[in-house]
Each structure stands twice: as C-alpha cells, then as structure tokens.
Structure 1
Amino acid sequence: MHSFVRRTLLATTMLASAVGCASAAQAEEAAPAGEEQSSTTSVGTGAHDRGGDIVVTARRRIESSQEVPLAISVVGGEHIDSTGSFNVGRLQQLTPTLQFYSSNPRNTAVNIRGLGVPFGLTNDGIEQGVGIYVDDVYNSRVASATFDFLDVAQVEVLRGPQGTLYGKNTTAGAINITTNQPTFDFEGKAEVSIGNYNFKQAKAAISGPLSDTLAARLAVSATDRRGTIYNVTSNQWIQSQDNLGIRGQLLWRPTDTLDITLAGDFSSQDANCCGSVYVRTGLTQRALNRQFEALADALGYQPVSRNPFDRRTDLDTPLKAENKIGGASLRVKWDFGEGTLTSITAWRFWDWDPSNDRDFTGLPIVALSQNPSQQDQYTQELRYNYSSDAIDFVVGAFGFYQRIDTQGTEQHGAASSRWNIAPSNPLSTDPSVLDGLVAYNSQYLKNTSAALYGQLSWHVTPELTLQPGVRLNYDKKDGYYQRRVFDGAGNEILLDGTTNARKTAQLAIFTPQEISPRFSDWNFSYDFTVSYRIAPDVLAYATYAKSFKSGGINQNGVPTDAQNNPILAAATVKPEDVDHYEAGLKTQFWDRRATFNLSIFRTDIRNYQANVNNGQFGVLRGYLANAGAVRSQGVEADFSIRPSERFNAYVNGAYTDATYRRFVDAPCPPELSGGTTAGAGQSPSAPGTPGGISPANCDVSGQRLPGISEWSFSFGAEANAPFTLLGKEGEVYLGYDGSVRSNFSSNPSASAYTWIDGYSLHNFRAGFRTDAGFDIYCWVRNAFDENYFEQLMVGPGNTGLIAGLPGDPRTWGFTVKSNF
C-alpha cells in the first residue's frame, strides 16, 4: 500500500511540475494582481538574495533579524531547496554551531554550541536542550528533526538559552521553523529531483482561496534513495531513504483582525535502516582471550571488510526503522488595539517501530533488539503581544502533557555463550545457556508541564533598550519500567534467592527489574538583555540568562548491584542549572550590501545530564547521570556580502570550547574498561592492558564534550548572468557551499579509539532560472568524495570493537522546479 501511495504521489507531482513548466511563461507576464512577489533571504546564498531585511519571529513578533539582540542564523526556503538541505541533519552544513548526530530516528541528537541532548542513545526520561518548533508548535521528539522539511518558508536557529519565551527545553537554543501559509491569491509550486543511488525526490504545494474568507494550502513531499552500505548477509542496500509527507492548512479570515488556521500533517519513514560497518578494534583491559580478535577467531568469524569505506557490512539481524509522526493544530490570532492575542492548541503523535543489530557484527550474539514506542503529546499556549513606541512586551501561559509507551524485546543468539562467558567456564561451549535468552521490557512515561512567562522591551531612548524576561515552570514526570527475563526454553528467570552456574551466567546478561521513578519540581528562570544602537546599522547587546533543564528519570533501566538489585539512586537525575553570558555586535555597511555579526558567549552548567553506559547488556541503551559541571564558551562570526544582484557570498565560523569542568565518576573509555575493578590500594593498569586492573570509574574533568569540534566553518557564493534559454529570459548561475569542521570525540568519555578526524564537504550547483520561478539545475554534493564518519560506536562487552556510520559519499543529480 505504501509503495502504491508513493508511486501515485510521485507521478502526480511530476505532472504538476510539467504543468508548472508550461505555465511559467504566462507567469512571467502576469504576476498575481495586487501582490508583490516576496523575496526569500537567508544567511547563505539563494535565488532571491538581493539584500534587504531578513524578517524573523525569534521574539514571538515579526521584526528584522538585525533588530533582535540575539545570535541567530536564518536560512530561507530558497536556500534550503537549492542546497539540498531538506532536513535538520543537512542544515548543519550551513550553520556551524548546529550539531546533528543520528544512528536512527529515535537515537538522534540536535545540539547547539555543543549542548542540548546527552550524546548517545536516547532516554525518554529527560528533556531535550534544543527546542524544535514548527509554526509555534513544540515538537518534543528529536525524531522530528529527521523528517524532510515540508513547504518550509524559513528556518531560524536561535543560539543560546531561550527559556523565557520558548521554555525549559531550550537551554542550548531553539530551531524555529516557519512553513508557507495559505494565501488568498492562487499559487503553486512543484519540484522533481533525480540523482545517483536511485535518488528520487518530488515536492508540490498549491494554495488559494475557497471563498472570500477561507483559503487553503496543501503540500506533499516524497524522497526515495537506495542505501549507501551493502549488507552481504541480507543482500540489501541499507541506510536508504523512504520518506513521505503531507501537510494541509485552512485559513479562515472573517475580519481583517482575526485569523484562524487549522493545520494537519503526517509524515512516514520506511527505510531499510539503520546499520553500521566495522571500523577497528582497540585493546581493552579484558582478558586477551575475551577480546574481539580472539573471540572472532574462536567462532571462525571475520568481518566482511576491515575498510569501513568499502561500505560493506554483514549484520545478521533484519533491520527496520518505521517512523510515523504527525498531528493537528489550531492557531487563533486576534489583533486588537496595539496588541495581538494568540492561541495555539496542538496534538502531536509519534510511532516508532525499529529492529537493530546491537552487537554490530554478523554473529548471532544479540539476535534481536527492538524497542517500539508510541507517543502522544498535547500542548496549549496562550500569549499576548503588545507594541508601542515606549515598550514592547509578550506575556503568556503554556501547558504540556506527554504519554510515551514502549515495548522492548532483546534476545541473544547461538554465539552469545562463547562471546560472553569466560572460556575457562565450561558453560562457554554450551550455546543453549544464552541462546534464546530474552528480555521483555515494558515502560511508560507521563510528563506534565505548565508555565507562565513574560518578556518586556523598554525603549529607554531611541538607542537604548532594556529587556528583562521571566518564566515560572512546574514539571512532573511519572515513569514505570519492568524487565522480565526468560531462558531459551521459555522459563522465566526470577530473583528468588536460588542460584546455579547457568542462572548466574544468564543474569549477567539480563537481570529482572521493576522500578517506578518519579520526579517533580518548580523552577524559576529569567534573563536580562541590554542593547544599544551605536549607529543606524550597528547594534551592540549583552545578555545574562539564568535557565534550567528539568530533572529527569531513567526510563531504560538502571544498573544493578552485586546482588542484582536495581540501584535506585540512579533512577532520577537532578535538573541542570544554567548560567549564560553573551555579548554581540550586529552590523551592516556598504549601503547594507554587507552584514557582519559577532557574538561571544559562555555557558556554565551545574548537574549536567550525561548519558552513560556501564557495559551491561541490560542497560546497553544507556542511563542518565549528573556530571558535576560543564562549560561551553566561544566566539561566532557571520559575514555575508551582496555587492550586486549578480553575486553574493557568505562565511560563517565558530570556535567552541566545551568541556567537562568536573565529572569525577564518569564511565571509563574502552581502553580503561573490562579488567578487574581496582580495590583498596590497587592502581589501575595502563590503558589497553589485557587482563589489567580497571578503575571503577574515571575522572574526565577537563576533557572536551563529545560531538563538538573546536573549529567549524560554512561558506559559499553564487554568481549569475543574464541569459535567454528557449525564448525565456532569465539567468544562468553557479553556486557553491562548503563546510569544514575539526576533529571531535564520539564517546561520552573521550577514547583514543573514537576520535573522528576533521573533514570538509563541498557542494556545487549550476543552472538556469527565470524571475517567474522556473528553475532547472544540476548539483553535486560531497563533490570530492570525502571519506568521513558521522559517528563511531563502542561495541558491547568491552571487547574493543568499534563500529561506525560513514557519511554520505559523493552524490549528484538534476532538479526541475517551477512556481505557477
């Protein structure tokens, strides 16, 4: 059914594109009456980057980005389309302070300035630190960042804490996405792209009046691509793309002062995903005969390739990543007097149905790993904006309720006994000990939050503005986690006081557990910004923000003690306490043909929420803990220049110094793990000493946070010239976008085995377009076929295995689009 829908949608969109091409010439002669064509602008380059103001809604009101005393990156829909940045993951190549990591849609991290979501596998029990908003609706799941942008007008990346206006989930920043709205003049657009790896993408949108007071807009998008990694076990290409999205909106405007918009959307992903490749092995402190090379030899196993950029794997668990997300919203905007009252009521859902290979090999060690979940969230926001010559303010209230249910299954296979039981134990040669051992995990989370907030801008003089903001927030989380364990014969394994060697070996893999963690708290956050207009086009500002991220509960199980009892102290984590300082300068010069913005910042976090892993299969998904303190500081600069309509260019750069200031009981990296735990008076062995002595935990104070490059840059340019093609007047153009980032750690505690080398990516496009919106161009991304990793993962059990996710190779293709 899904394939049929996709083929129908693709064919329909191609037809719409053909109609659009035919009507482009007519559109050149007759633009919609009474409506000036809008110009999409961005920090980068695009077809309509002719200068002028970039309009944003970062402070919940419409204003120029150069008027906002805030570090903000703005990418217009035109630039998103032309650079192939069709989701947040690709957007990071244009905004160097944005980091995106994803091993699958659920396990996705979106960070700004190195902060946001703990690096590693997702835990539902905490908030994200980068809020994602689409048309004022909060999306609580980072998985929403993996979907294709759908009819997007503009993306604003707000850097630094945004707790006053955007809430507790924005200690690192927010991504504010605005879609194109229904219009009372008929308009449409269509786009079709094809490329290597059987890439096919189609987009279409149509908008217009249904009556004098009612307008509608409908947008659809479909993306399909063959995978980039070949699995020799299943004879399939994995890491494919198979995305489908639809969004509809109805706008009722009974008077000039009242807009009521009803919106609904649905998106699905059904990719052959998500896998990994063998990267390397490194010595741990486990006994040498229990490390990867010895275990693989004992089982007669060799990875299909030891060169990760052969892009070949042999994962033996069927892979699945079915992902559905959608919802509905009702937005009411009523203008009266000098203010606007806005109400946003929304419901969102998210259904996740995965299957993963968690041993990262072609051996039947972990035969099954899947944790499907279902989420519903409900939000209500009510706010009032007021503007006058002397003051602007916004006050509001926000309510949030979320329910997540998860049903997990983790099962071991025939090779597990030999892999996980010491060779000196006779049970290691008995496959039946662990073959079929299965854990069924049931969990739910109820998350309730409510807030009152306000922000005031007092224009003391035409040049000087004082901006205080406050937010009062209440949070409550109720969770439940149960793990039941059964052996291969279907007998339940209980913690009933009985024991034998076989049961001990099985409990070392999965331990029954049942916990009901709870958390509730009140928090008060505030900020204060002073801005001063030094000259008509020069704005200086300074900000202090006191923010927080709500405390959390561990929803994936907690470690156990020597008696296999859950360590309940690990069931909850404290709220993060954030102090943020920032100063910036926003300038335009050369008759506003050039823009230069500069910001310096420092963020101090106490009780930083870190995702850790102690090597137990039962908590392989990771659990949460508080690091003592974290600091992120740095400098960011954005420069763009548009000397004429024939050329524009930009350079954006960031230096980020983000480190653990105090984390004395962190999980150790693999080279310091797997040995006998150091006792009183014992000193740990040197890193990578087989059979050595391992510290119980490690002091990583001073180490760089994972996922963060100290240096990152994005840059690009576009040049065009008048040209006539097939009787149509327009312009030919050549565009380039590049990005560079330095090395970064891919493990919560830095390991010599998991540093990812810095890399650079270079994208080109060339084509012909008309003012009416007809555009035909070819493109190449990662033009120099750079080999790089998006992420490295440490295999379970301290065997020294390192697996990885290679970034996309060179891709190229051809796009035709038209507005009509």
Structure 2
Amino acid sequence: MALNSIRIGSSAFALAAALAATAVSAQTTPSNDTTTPSSQAPANVGPAVTDSADLGTIVVTANKRAENVQNVPLAVSVLAPTQLKAAGVTQFSDLGRVSPSLVIRTAEQPVNSNVSLRGVGTFAFGIGVESSVAVLVDEVPLAFAARAFTDLPDVQRIEVLRGPQSTLYGKSASAGLINIITQDPTSTFHAKANALATSDREYGGNVSLSGPMGEDLGYVVSGSYSNWDGNVKNLFNGKRVNGHEAGNFRGKIRWTPDANLKITLSGNYLNGNTTVGRPFTHMSPTALLRNTAGLTEAVVMPGVVVSPDNTDVSNNFNSRTKYQGYGGYLRGELGLGDMTLTSITSYDHFHQTDYLDQDDTSYSGALGNNNQVGEFKEHMVTQEVRLQSPAEKPFRYTIGAYYADVNFARPFVRGPAFSAANWYATIESRQIAGFAQVDWTFLPKLTLTGGVRVQNEKVDYTYQDNLAVAPARSFFSGGAQKTAPTWKVSLRYQITDNLMAFGTYATGYKGQTYDLTTGFNANRAAAGPIRPEKSRDKEVGVRWQSTDHRLTANVTLFSTHYTDLQAQTIETLADGTSNFRLTNVGGLTTKGVEVETSARIGQDVNLRGSVTYLDAKYSSYPVAQCYPLQTAATGCVTTASPTFQNLTGTRAVQAPKWKFQVGADYAPSLTDTLKGVVQVDWQYQSSLFFTPRDPETIQPAYSIVNVGIGVRAADRRWEVIGFVNNLLDKQYYGSLVNTAGNFGNQIATQAVLPRDFHRYGGVRLAFNF
C-alpha cells in the first residue's frame, strides 16, 4: 500500500531538476498571448488569471493589489480551473492534491476538519478557535473553516499564500491563507456549463451565465449541484455513507456608472448534507466494547471484517451533518484622482447540525447506543476600507482599516450510556485593526516593502453546563481584550526583466480564545484565555519566467518559528489539578524549500510541477498527552499523574517531509476544428502522523496517478474527457483515529476514507459559449 519514502524522496529531487532542465532546454515558438507583459504593472484591479492550458502572465491580488505573480515577493501558488479538473479536485478538501505545502485533514464532520500549511494548522473542537490558515472568497474572510468544506464555487482562480499573512489579512492568517476568486461579470454574454458522472455513483454539474444588463450594468450568476452516496457501506441498514449532497448558488451584479466608480453586489447560498462512516482498519482480537464481556467485534459490528482495506461499518444511528449558509458583500471602488478607495462590507451566516454514533457500533444494549447531537451557529459582519496609490509609480502604498464581529453558538448533547454531556456555549469575537503597506522602488531594480498592522481584539464567552449538580457552578462567563502589532519587511531585486530575487521577514499572530468544550468548569474559567499564538518567518526566493511566458521556475526557502503554539495538552489549573484541553504548549519550527515550475512546449504540450521539502518539529512541547496504549518504553511518563510525554524535537502532525505534484496536458490537433486531449496528474506524499508519535495513526507514503483522455473544440467551446482517478488503486486515509479507549484499551483504529480511496472512472463534459 505504501511506497518506499527514501526512494521517492530521491525521485522528488530528480523530478525538480528534470523540470528545471526542461524549462531551460525546451524549444519554443513565439507566443500569441495577449496577456499583460511582465514588464508592465497592472492596474489596481486587474484581469483574471490565465488558465494553465494557455500560459501567460498570471495576475494575483495577494498584496490586495493586482500584480504579476512573478513580481510578488511572497510564496504564492495559483491554481486555475483546468489544473483543478485534471487533478480530480471538485471540493475544497481536495486542494491539498495540487498545492504541495497544503495538507487538508478531513474528519467525520466538516467542523472537525483541519487545514495546514507548511506543517502548521489548528486541530480543536471548540467554537471560536481560529484556524492558522485563513480562507477567503473574493477577499471576504470565512469565520468558520467548515463553511469552505463543500463544492468549490464558480472559480476563476485560487491563490494559496504560504507563510504568515497577518499584516494585510489579520489574526486568522498566522500560517497562510487560501483566497478563492470567483468569476466576474463579462462585457458580452457568456455561458459555461460543466457536468460530471462517475462509475461510483457521483454526479453533478454547474452552470454560469454572465453578461451585460445595460450599458453600465453587468451580472454573473452560477449554480452547482453534486451528489455522491459514498464509498463506505453501513451493514446495519444496507445504505452507503461517507458521501455528500450539496447545492450552491452565487450571483454578482456590477454597476460602473463612470470610469471612476465600480460597485459590486454579491450574494451566495449553500445547502447540503454529509453522511458519516468511519471503518475500523485495525482491531485487537481481544477488544471488547466498553471492556464488557461478550461484546466482541462480531457481536457489536456483525459482518464487518476489520482490515486496512475495510470499507464497511455497522452503525445503528444515522451519523450525518446538515448545513445551510448564506451571505454576501457590497464592494465599492472609487477613483480619487490617481488613487483608488475600496470599501468591502460583508455578512455571513452558517448553521450546521451534526449527529454522530459515538460508539461506532450497532450494539443497542445498556453500554452501547451512545450518540451525540450538536449544532454550530455563526454570524459574521465585516467592514474593510483601504486607499491605494497607483501601481505604476516608484512609491506605492496601501492603507486601510478593518472591523469584524463574529458570533458563535454551540448546543451539545451526548449520551446516555457513557461520557454524558449537555451544555450550551457562546463566544463573540470583535476585531478592530489598522494596516499599511508601502512599496518603494528606491533604485531602478531594487524595491523595499514594509508593512504594519495594529489590531485590537475583544473576546466574550458564556458556558452553561446543564448536567452540573449543585452546589457546583453551572454557568460561566468572561472575556479578554488585547492589542497586538504584526509587521513585515521585504527587499526585492529585479535582476533582469525576467528574473527576480527577494528576501522577506514577517510576523504572524493568531488571536486568544477559550476552549469551550465538554468539561469546561470553574478551574478552566479561572485559568483565563488561551494566549495568542505568534510566529516569525524568514524567506528568500527566486522567480524566473521566459520572455514569451512559456517557461517558469520559482524557488522559495523558508524558516518559521511559532511561540505559544495552541494545541491539545495537559494543563495545570488554578487549584493545582490537571486536565486535557486546548492551551499554549510551547513552540514549533518549520523550515524547508518549495519549487514550482511550468513549461509550454510548442502549441500542444503544457507541463507543470511543484515539490516541497518540509522539516516541521516541535521546538518546545514538554508536557503532552500520551496517546492511547503508549507505555514507558515508548516515551510515556507513567509515574506522573496524569501521565504525559515530551514531544520536544519530534515531527509535527500533518507535516510530510516530501510532497509533490506533476501534471501534463497534451492537446494535438486532430482536424482544423478538433483537438485531442490527454491529461496526466501524479501526486506523491511521504508519511505523516495524524497524532504525535502514535503508530496507529501513521499514514504511510503514497502516490496517486490520475489520467484523462478526450476531445475538445479547437476554440475550447466544448470538451468531453473520460478519466480514471487513482489509476493504480493505491489506498490511503484522509484521517486515522485511535479509539482504543472505547474498547477496553485494546487496539481499535478507525479511518476517514478519502474520495479516491479506490480507483474510479468517469466522464467530464464542459461547454463554453
């Protein structure tokens, strides 16, 4: 099931070298691209990214200003629709396939999924705990990571910014951000439609219409629907689970009454559900549910054969989620002489109800049938105002202010057999920030960039424990407030028109919070808030692109240190007792190198490749929870109460040493109006831990190959492609969970299976008019 990591690690170096050599030696023909030349700076609001099938100048808004990505002194990956389709990316959770520094850990419910960049992410169950990686849609932040775990909208491009981005994007971007840019209105009528059907019962599609509604008014509306019943079978009722159903709608209206004013109104709505099934992949023959005599595997999970390839469960409770969300934004862009004033006002609402068979069996006796039901409710209002100088002048600046108010609520019930819980919590986070960034080309080829952000955050919470027995307290409330600065400085040297080198130093910040989960009590309340997580990042990089834009090679070296890392650990409370919770555990250092290349050979062949080497380790984590079944021989200090392990110096979770992706698109002419299409995408990831040191939660190295073959119109108005994903049928896991504690402290390991756990095929149809 796994490949040899050493052999593949060497192959990754060879791959990067081969791609670079291809970029240098490829014979090219003159390009007829009409994209913006790299020597010219785009306007403050620029055009869309060129699709990967037609390489050219790629324009991004990573610095909140439209710029050629090759001139941006940041580590930025840009993902275009063609690349996403070839890699089998249909949902947000698939993005880790095409961005090697990105790992997305799926979970039994979207709210428990986790996003990591360069080995840094936040895994927590509490409401109001920010992710280290921010997710934005059209520059509007999502307060709830689960809001992103659905079908991707009508994507124009996706920008993945690696490393701290707190100076321009705030306290939820301490490790990086993902910016999803959707399609804009067009000046003429334009229609797109895509449809998908697979051999394993997935089907769906999307439609997008755009054009003018008048001389000064334009629109774009899009809708999508997808349905997949899953790749896990529940033997209790014969239904398939681990699937999803989702519908999305998005619309924009843009009014441009004159050359100096542009107003965009956007709205969105989503509605969907997921089903849950976590097959057991490893179980001791002596394991007993709740360590009760007679409750063997065969009794509590009849028909299930536990193995690494198991795709069966036996659950007598319908584990699932239902979610609904809506929101929108009003964006205004006003020209003030040669400057631009931009205002973005947004509102977002998201509501999810989750149901889980907590014992993951079909046993219904006194010690089984334990279930949990909860809700996540979120409301967010944001306001950003910024003023920008012209992009083409030697001295350029962006100054702005930001306000956000986010409210979360979580009712939660679990039981009745064991681990009973019944509580209701709320948390409100308010942020006010001012930021500024200056770019000064003080010499013809040398540009200095400096930025600073000062933000004030205020957090208030309530927690009602409905199971507390008097005289124990049942209601808690409190709050905290903090003002914090972040900053960055960068030096960029334009060696030639096509070659740029840069160095950047930046700081990151993730806000304080409270761990509002089961077990919150007077001790936790007295302990106060979890302190902010801070980071310091150093990067150097080189960006090169040939004059005709056909060849690109980018390299980034980075080293980032995190202090007051927010993670699960043992905490000593105000009265001297200890428990396990989210708190500040110490530090983490992540360093490595990222290589991204692309080449267009002739008119028919496009190549792309990227590779990341990552060394992410805990620099300070002296008191961590022992994993289930850990002994003194494997590092658990069993003489202490509670027991603990020292993780200092060990590899961080969700941090593979090697990860790469290679893609090729060959489109030879068959006739004057028809082209063939051959697509190949190869993804590799070395081993990683889902839980520190736990041998039951190691994901071995794996390699996935996707292929597609079809035909398209020469003018790209339509295409039909048959594809096979996971061609070699290699099995891997989206997540592994050690549930030995539920089975008498005997081995019991469960998996969340990815969409392509087994090979499947299908057909993609696309129309573009």
Q: How far, CA to CA, are the matches of 1:169 and 1:344 in structure 2?
A: 18
Match of 1:574 among 514, 517, 531: 531
Matched, 1:552 2:513: yes
**Distance in 2 separating the partners of 1:552 and 1:61:** 32
Structure 1 residue 84: Cα displacement: 3.3
Q: Does 1:146 align with 2:149?
A: yes
Q: Against the structure 1 CA distance between its residues 551 and 534, is the aligned structure 2 distance closer, same or farther, given a 3 Å change threshold?
A: same
Aligned to 1:787: 731
Q: Deviations over 1:98-139 (max 9, x none)?
A: 1101212111211111113x23x4322322111111111111
Q: How many residues align?
A: 704
| Of 99, 110, 114, the match for 1:95 | 99
In 2 relative to 1, CA 298–193 (structure 1 residues): closer, same or farther, beyond 3 Å?
closer
The 8 Å contact of residues 690 and 698 in structure 2, kept in 1 or not, is answered as yes
d(CA) in 2 for partners of 1:472 and 1:688?
42
Q: Output the CA distance in 2 between the equivalents of 1:559 and 1:405.
A: 15
Distance 1:522 1:189 in 2: 47
Question: Greater Rg, structure 1 or structure 2?
Answer: 1
Q: Which residue in 2 is equivalent to 1:280?
A: 282
2:49 and 2:60 in contact (8 A); partners too: no
Q: Which of 708, 711, 719 is the aligned partner of 1:775?
A: 719
Corresponding position of 2:384? 381
1:153-232 → structure 2 map (5 Å cutoff): 153-232=156-235
Map Cα deviations across residues 198-236 of structure 1 (whole Å, 9 max, x no partner).
211111011122111111111000001121000011321
Alpha-carbon distance between aligned partners in 1 of 2:748 and 2:476, rounded to the nearest angstrom: 32
Are residue 660 (structure 1) and residue 635 (structure 2) matched? no
For 1:667, the aligned partner's letter is Q
Q: Structure 1 residue 347: deviation in Å?
A: 0.2
Alignment of 1:112 onto 2:69: no
Counterpart for residue 53 of structure 1: 57
Hey, what's the Cα distance between the residues in 1 that align with 2:158 and 2:297?
53
* Counterpart code for 1:310: N
Name the counterpart of 1:744: 688
Structure 1: segments with no counterpart, 5+ residues: 1-37, 417-436, 486-492, 498-511, 615-620, 674-683
Is contact 1:513-1:566 (8 Å) kept?
A: no
Q: Which residue identity does 1:494 align to in structure 2?
A: V
Q: Aligned-pair distance for 1:518?
A: 2.1
Q: Report whether the alignment pairs 1:762 with 2:737.
A: no
Q: Is the 8 A contact 1:441 1:481 kept in 2?
A: yes
How far apart, CA to CA, are the structure 1 residues paired with 2:626 and 2:728? 37
After superposition, the Cα gap between the structure-2 partners of 1:355 and 1:540, relative to the gap in structure 1 and judged at 3 Å, is: same
Report if aligned partners of 1:558, 1:571 keep a CA contact under 8 Å in 2: no
The structure-2 alpha-carbon separation of the partners of 1:76 and 1:310, relative to structure 1 and needing over 3 Å to count, comes to: same
Is 2:344–2:383's contact at 8 Å kept on the other side of the alignment? yes
What is the one-letter code of the residue matched to 1:740?
Y
Give, in angstroms, the shift of residue 772 of structure 1: 4.3
TM-score normalised by length of structure 1 = 0.82
Counterpart of 1:678 in structure 2 is none
* Corresponding position of 1:8: none
Matched to 1:80, the amino acid is: L
**Unaligned stretches of 5+ residues in structure 2:** 1-46, 572-578
* Secondary structure of the structure 1 residue equivalent to 2:667: strand
8 Å contact 1:558–1:570 — kept in the other structure?
A: no
Match of 1:494 among 460, 465, 469: 469
Q: 2 CA distance for matches of 1:318 and 1:267?
A: 22
Amino acid paired to 1:750: R
Distance in 1 of aligned mates of 2:536 and 2:725: 39
Structure 1 residue 687, shift from structure 2 partner: 6.9
Q: 1:40 to 1:168 in 2, by over 3 A?
A: closer
1:320 maps to what in 2?
320
Report the Cα distance in structure 1 between the residues aligned to 2:287 and 2:703, rounded to whole angstroms: 38
Secondary structure of 2:197's counterpart equals strand
1:506-534 residue CA offsets vs partner (Å, 9 max, x unmatched): xxxxxx85432422110001000001011
- Change in Cα spacing, 1:569 to 1:810, as seen in structure 2 (3 Å) is farther
| Partner amino acid, structure 1, of 2:479 | R
Could you tell me how far 1:187 is from its partner in structure 2?
A: 0.8
Q: CA deviation at 1:308?
A: 4.1
Give the letter for the 2:662 counterpart: F
1:567-598 Cα offsets, whole Å, 9 max, x none, are 44555211112111111111123754221111
Alignment partners' CA distance in 1, 2:645 and 2:293: 27
> Is the counterpart of residue 525 in structure 1 residue 486 in structure 2?
yes
CA contact (8 A) 2:325 2:348 kept: yes
CA contact (8 A) 1:556 1:622 kept: no
Q: Residues 688 and 699 from structure 1, CA distance in 2 versus in 1: closer, same or farther, beyond 3 angstroms?
A: closer
Equivalent in the alignment of 1:629: 587
- Deviation, 1:708, is 1.2
Q: Is the 8 A contact 1:96 1:714 kept in 2?
A: yes
**How do 1:585-664 and structure 2 match up within 5 A?**
585-589=542-546, 591-612=548-569, 623-664=581-622
Confirm or deny: 8 A CA contact 1:558 1:566 kept in the other structure.
no
Displacement of 1:659: 1.1
Deviation at 1:80, TM superposition (A): 2.5
Output the CA distance in 2 between the equivalents of 1:611 and 1:138: 26
Q: Distance in 2 between matches of 1:787 and 1:462?
A: 53
Q: Aligned partners of 1:292 and 1:661: how far apart in 2? A: 38
CA pair 752-292 structure 1, distance change in 2 beyond 3 A = farther
Query: How far has the Cα of 1:546 moved from its partner?
Result: 2.0
Aligned partners of 1:115 and 1:129 also within 8 Å? yes
Report 1:344-383 matches (<5 A).
344-364=344-364, 365=368, 367-383=370-386
| Cα distance in 1 between the residues matched to 2:404 and 2:581 | 24
Q: Which residue does 2:458 correspond to in 1?
A: 476
What is the CA distance between 1:601 and its match in structure 2? 0.6
**Residue by residue, what CA displacement relative to the aligned partner does 1:638-662 show, whole Å, maximum 9, x if unpaired?**
1111122211111200011111111
Identical residues among aligned pairs (%): 26
1:452 aligns with 2:455: no
Is the Cα contact below 8 Å between 1:204 and 1:221 reproduced in 2? yes
Partner of 2:13: none
Mark the CA change 1:254 to 1:371 in structure 2 (over 3 Å): closer, same or farther.
Answer: same
Contact 2:88–2:706 (8 Å) recurs in 1: no
- C-alpha distance in 2 between matches for 1:389 and 1:746: 48
Q: 1:566 to 1:484 in 2, by over 3 A?
A: farther
